[in-house]
Amino acid sequence: MRIIKSIQNRIYELRGERVMLDFDLAALYEVGTKVLNQAVKRNIKRFPKDFMFRLMPDEWEYMRSQIVTTSEVQSTMRSQFVTASQSKRNINITPYAFTEQGVAMLSGILNSDKAIAMNIAIMRAFVEIRRVLIQENNLREQLKQIKERIGEHDVQLNQIYDAMENLLDEKASQRKWEERERIGFKGN
């Protein structure tokens, strides 16, 4: 479970896709980023644009700020990882982002036992994220329905209160002053 959490911390939302960056994947597979990218380039036909894409410089700047921000909040180990991976990276070259399908395709080109085991864990992390998002959507829908019901109930309760006030006002105005029951102390 701990490894899945670690992987989930390395999955980012970019261009409407959940992606993992090349240096994060290389660290998980315990290979160099350059080695990972060379293997991808040797098998580039397996990686169409919807499986893998290079970040634009402005996207990379945004991602770097997100990575640093999340690393400060998360564990020290994650922070050290980010610092180490960023210091080794050529800042003039933006990283590759791999979608879930791209990560799955990596399993075909990286055949070490570590890569295979890590790929299984990564796929489980993506599945877990999807499951959590589905649950969140269900909860949002239920909350929306509850709000609508409460809104309807408020309207109905207000109508009941108004009707009761009108009835009380009508009854009170129909009774004459002399007919009303006296309150207070009564003498003998």
According to DSSP, the residues that pair with 14 across neighbouring strands are: 17
Distances (CA, A) of 26 to 34, 39, 79, 155: 8, 11, 17, 58
DSSP β-ladder status, 17-21 and 96-99:
antiparallel
From first to last of the 188 residues of the chain, give the pLDDT tens digit: 677 777 778 888 888 888 889 898 888 888 888 988 998 999 898 888 989 999 898 888 887 776 665 444 444 444 444 444 455 656 678 899 998 888 888 877 777 777 777 777 788 887 888 788 788 877 888 888 888 888 788 888 888 888 888 877 776 676 666 776 777 777 76
Structure tokens at 94: 């933006």
In angstroms, the CA 36 to CA 83 distance is 20
Looking at residue 173, its amino acid is S
Residue 180 confidence (pLDDT) = 67
The answer to whether 39 and 26 have CB atoms below 8 angstroms apart is no
Q: Which residues of 152-178 are buried (b: 16+ CB within 10 A; e: fewer)?
A: eeeeeeeeeeeeeeeeeeeeeeeeeee
* Helix, coil or strand: residue 17: strand
